[in-house]
Amino acid sequence: MTVITVGGMVGAGKSTLAKMLAEKLGFNYISAGQIFREEAAKRGMTIQEFMKVAPESLHRNVDRMVAERVRSGNWVVDSRLGAFFVKNADLRVFLTAPVDVRAERVAERDGVPLKEAVQIVKTRDETDRENYRRIYGIDYLDIRAYDLVLNTALFEKDGVLEVVEHVLEQVS
């Protein structure tokens, strides 16, 4: 049974890769970020607003729930902290890209002006890093937690998928 975690920075392609990988492998998919987006929507907030005030208990519950759910194997986990909490992960992937590339992706995805997307990316980078340090004492940007670190600005999304599939074949 295989479990793959996909973490990384805002706009680096975590969800895109995780969904593509789950579909290609026929695995289950779970997204911690989607759970937070749903909670934000219930409160009439954007994800950026909500992550500044999301209760510590929600962070801990989501991370615990994700880790427990994937114990059965054949999962792709889309979560910035998956590499730290999913103990049975066979491959831990971290995606990054320069701020300008990530902002372009966020602008396209969310339908916001590029200038606003740059601010969204920078604020989320800062907020998420501060939250995880405060709640868990974890720096999710510490690449020692990952098996594969990939700059997605160097590839189209299918290329990112191919690289990860190749690495997965080597470690399986």
Of 13-17, 70-74, 96-100, 134-138, which gets the smallest average pLDDT? 70-74
Q: Where are any strands of DSSP class E within the chain?
A: 3-8, 28-31, 75-78, 91-96, 148-151
Q: Are 116 and 59 in contact (CB under 8 A)?
A: no
Q: Does residue 87 form part of some domain?
A: yes
Domain assignment of residue 152, yes or no: yes
Q: Which residue has the higher pLDDT, 37 or 106?
A: 106
Dihedral through CA 117, CA 120, CA 121, CA 125, nearest 10?
A: 180
Residue closest to 93 by CA, chosen among 116, 72, 77: 77
Q: Does residue 168 lie in a domain region?
A: no
- Distances from the Cα of 96 to the Cα of 8, 24, 159, angstroms: 6, 22, 14
The answer to whether residue 169 is domain-embedded is no
- Rounded Cα gap, residues 62 and 80, in angstroms: 12
Q: How many domains does the chain have?
A: 1
**72 within a domain of the structure (yes/no):** yes
Question: Rounded to two decimals, what is the model's pTM?
Answer: 0.90
Residue-wise pLDDT tens digits, 90-129: 999 999 999 999 999 999 999 999 999 999 999 999 999 9
Q: What is the pLDDT of residues 128-147, one digit of tens each?
A: 999 999 999 999 999 999 99
Residue 130 lies in a domain: yes
pLDDT at 58: 87
CATH number for 73:
3.40.50.300
| CA–CA distance, 88 with 82 (Å, rounded to integer) | 10
In a domain, 170, yes or no: no
Q: Output the six-digit token pair for 7.
A: 């973490």
Residue 147 dihedral angles phi and psi, to the nearest 5°: -90, -30
The answer as to whether 86 is a domain residue is yes
Structural domain containing residue 30: 3-163
